[in-house]
Chain A
Amino acid sequence: MNNRHLLRGLFLVVISLAFGIGALQYRIGHFDRAGPGLFPLMVSCLLLLIGIATIVRSRYLERVPLEFNYRNIAIILASLCGFAIVSLYLKMIAGIVFMVFCASFAGGHFNFWRNIKIAAGLIGIALVFQKLLGFNLPLY
């Protein structure tokens, strides 16, 4: 089951079904007066065909195991969302500090003083953006 080619096909089929079933909710119309659902339905059908073709093809190709490393992507996404949440409830400077510290777990070598330096540098850049380039950043 852990075959990248097969999973790729299944993934495409799932996406096509999600959008295709969604398209059925909207008015399809006729070809001369297309409704909002017609075009996405056609594209989903095409994608479904490609997904099925990919699954069929995977039988003829050599198996490649799928590697999925949850740790790094989870940390990166957590630091992004954390940045948004902290900026929302506190201020963006706190968000930047949080992001740098959270993201550095993914690097493997956690170093407090280096993180402080990076955060300070990034806050400096953010200030330049705000003051000189006219960005509307809620820094403090």
Chain B
Amino acid sequence: MDILHNLAFGFSHALTWQNLLFCAIGCVVGTLVGLLPGLGPLATISILLPLTYSIPTGGALIMLAGIYYGAQYGDSVSAITMKIPHASSIVACIDGYKMTLKGQTGLALFTAGISSFIGGTVAIIVLSFFAPMLGEVAFLFGPADYCALMLVGFVCVSFVTTGNLLDGLAMCLIGVLLGQVGTDVNSGQERYTLGFPFLAEGIGLVSIALGCFGIAEITKNLDNKDERTPFNGKIHLMPTWQEFKRIIPSALRGSVVGSFLGILPGGGPTIAQFAAYAIDKKVSKYKDEIGTGVIEGVAGQAAADEAAARTSFIPLMSIGIPENAVMALMMAAFIIKGIQPGPNMIAGHPDLFWGLVASMWVGNVFLVVLNVPLVRYWLSVFKIPYAVLFPSILFFCCIGTFSVNNNLDDIFITALFGFIGYIFLRLDLDPAPLLLGFILGPMLEENFRRALLISRGSFNIFVTRPISATLLAIIAAFVAWQIAAFVVQSRRNGAARSRVPAEPAV
């Protein structure tokens, strides 16, 4: 009954007029920006983060969370109607877009909306049960365990976002190194500041995020020069009862899978979608039709998407370690607002925690109301030509960077990171792990130094403590598997290549 009491307490905070308004604004703006081509949740949050500076803490966090799952949802709408996904909703393109081709856009959008609602609801139940429990576990963690957990996060995120462990880890490490810029907290020594006084406090997170995600994305879209045709088809929303019945089991499966995968390090919406889709393909009653544009192909992944988007808050709020790049950005937002996420957050700021949890459900309702009946109006966003859009995005980048410290110099740093982000883009390196590394870097260093201080310089502490030993063993197994897979793959490629010249050249 404790949970019900807590949730009631949360709703009493989430349902004030002010917080309702912030939640609504977050959902609307998040969906709007998430719909735009080239702007996924990461870019959306980093562009809109500065807007929340002048808002009271509770409202700001509610609004940011709304922006996040709003953007996640908006993303799937553009994937279903026009097959322009960002990294976060690739799966929605498969069956969702096929349904559009069959003329069932309305049904696909309705399915996605309702499934997201189911997914979000299940996730909130999981969140209110597990976050306090995991918070208790977090008290068992020592510095060595925190180090190991962060390393697991690096490895998982590297693998999930880039599909290539080496590239992802490299980006994490670059992020950690960038996080070293500034004053060392232990000795007071200034590191890598090159004598610039404004670097003594470190590089601004907003500059890195906007440079790598905002500016680089704009330039990528300008380079591509592809003109999209806006969606003009008819939308018939209401499904028949038969169709509606098909949504439920698939959505429930997706919610459970998504809620679970959202909690794991490196987890989150993307991997949850793939897993839910794969499971539906195995066990669904209509498994043979999945892939050709059926309800089950949309419902499961949409539910998993929204469920994972919410449960990925669990590690952040109960252990204090963000598990993916979006959550790292969220953590920065928490810290800017003066809240340190971690085991003490639930006890120390129950109004914020339970208010946020309750607001997620309120946001769920907003999303369904906003998106299912009104979706056709949203789609008119795509009629805005890119030539109008990109100066506006640039403008938001400028205002956002400026308003962090009311300092115009920061814009030059953003520009510098825009250039670096463009190099990353051309080298095919994904900047998402960099952001995680940048935010976790200082924490990793602090815990690493503390662990070695406790053990008097011996690395044994990492393998004698059960939690860190287990986590490090997982990493070792994973790395070994990756190396083995690469060797097998290159052998096979080599064999294939040596066979090719044997064929007669005509």
Contact = CB atoms under 8 A, between A and B. Distances in A.
Interface of A: 4, 7-8, 11-12, 15-16, 19, 22-23, 26-27, 30-40, 43-44, 46-47, 50-51, 53-54, 57, 60, 64, 66-69, 72-73, 76-77, 79-81, 83-84, 87-88, 95-96, 99-100, 103-104, 106-109, 111, 114, 118, 121-122, 125-126, 129, 133-137
A81 B54 contact: no
Interface in B405-421: 406, 408-409, 411-412, 414-415, 418-419
Interface stretch (B174-182, B298-306, B321-329, B352-360): B174-182
B394 A126 contact: no
Contacts of B173: 16, 43, 46-47, 50
A24 to B, nearest CB: 12
B117 interface: no
B interface: dominant SS: helix
Given A73-B419, A79-B394, A118-B391, A57 B215 contact: no
B398 A83 contact: yes
Contact of A83 (B223, B411, B456): B411
A81 to B, nearest CB: 5
Contacts of B187: 27, 35-36
A47 B490 CA distance: 23
A114 B415 contact: no
A133 B418 contact: no
B429 A80 contact: no
A121 to B, nearest CB: 8
Contact of B191 (A7, A36, A107, A137): A36
A100 B222 CA distance: 15
B213 to A, nearest CB: 14
Interface stretch (B98-106, B272-280, B445-453): B445-453
Candidate in B215, B399, B414 with the most chain A CB atoms within 10 angstroms: B399
Contact of B428 (A8, A12, A37, A111): A8
Contacts of B448: 34, 39
A80 B225 contact: no
19 contacts: A7-B427, A27-B189, A30-B457, A31-B452, A36-B187, A44-B177, A50-B166, A50-B170, A77-B415, A77-B418, A80-B215, A84-B409, A84-B411, A99-B394, A107-B387, A121-B392, A125-B395, A126-B399, A134-B54
A58 B439 CA distance: 30
A114 B388 contact: yes
A interface: dominant SS: helix
A107 B391 CA distance: 10
Interface string B202-227: 00000000000001001100110100
Given A39-B449, A44-B177, A50-B169, 7 more contacts: A22-B191, A36-B187, A54-B167, A76-B218, A107-B386, A109-B387, A136-B406
Given A40-B191, A72-B219, A103 B391 contact: yes
Given A31-B452, A76-B418, A133 B427 contact: no
Given A80-B415, A118-B392, A122-B395, A26 B191 contact: yes
A31 B428 CA distance: 36
Contacts, number: 176
Contacts of A23: 191
A23 to B, nearest CB: 8
B483 to A, nearest CB: 10
Candidate in A23, A96, A103 with the most chain B CB atoms within 10 angstroms: A103
B394 A103 contact: yes
Interface residues of B, number: 65
8 nearest A-B residue pairs (beta carbon): A32-B457, A31-B457, A84-B411, A36-B184, A36-B189, A107-B387, A80-B415, A47-B173
Contact of B222 (A57, A80, A107, A111): A107
Nearest to B419: A77
Contacts of A53: 166
Given A15-B177, A135-B54, A8 B403 contact: no
Contacts of B395: 96, 99-100, 122, 125-126
B408 A87 contact: yes
A42 B443 CA distance: 15
B418 A66 contact: no
Contact of B399 (A30, A31, A135): A135
Nearest to A85: B408
Contact of B414 (A30, A80, A99, A137): A80
A51 B174 CA distance: 11
Contact of B422 (A30, A31, A73): A73
B381 interface: no
A88 B406 CA distance: 12
Contacts of A31: 452, 457-459
Interface in B356-387: 386-387
A104 B399 CA distance: 18
A76 B174 contact: no
A103 B390 contact: yes
Nearest to B194: A22
Contacts of B490: 60
Nearest to B418: A77
A47 B174 CA distance: 8
Contacts of B222: 72, 76, 106-107
Nearest to A135: B403
Contacts of A43: 173, 176-177, 180
Interface in B469-506: 486, 490, 493-494
B267 to A, nearest CB: 24
A81 B54 CA distance: 26
Contact of A39 (B166, B180, B412): B180
